[in-house]
Amino acid sequence: MVRSRRSYTREFKVEAVRLAHESEKSVAQIARELGIHPTLLGRWVKQLEVDPEQSFPGKGHLKDRDEEVRRLRRELERVTQERDILKKAVAIFSKEPK
């Protein structure tokens, strides 16, 4: 049996974490009631504690610093290619004519 991965909205995750913090029930009991695995709820709790503003960015969205790293890597690749082209051009034009 192949299980497909379920996805949850940011609102669902935040609400689940709020329930875990405010309820008298255990995290495991809340997770069972929500139909999720207790370790998943525990992971959400930790993510929200570590970075409340950037947690749960959604599919295809990156945290600000990850997006910056991605942008800088693309820029580095472009600049490296430009440098290599210029090195080849200098080598070609600096040869003495025969």
Q: pLDDT tens per residue, the chain (98 residues)?
A: 666 778 888 888 889 998 988 989 898 999 999 999 999 999 888 888 887 676 776 665 666 777 788 889 999 999 999 999 999 999 888 887 76
Cβ neighbours, 10 Å, residue 88: 10
- pTM (whole model) above 0.95: no
The position carrying tokens 């991605």 is 70
Backbone φ/ψ region at 6: left (φ over 0), alpha (ψ -120 to 50), beta:
beta
**50: enclosing H helix or E strand:** helix 38-50
Asked if 33 and 26 touch (Cβ cutoff 8 Å), the reply is no
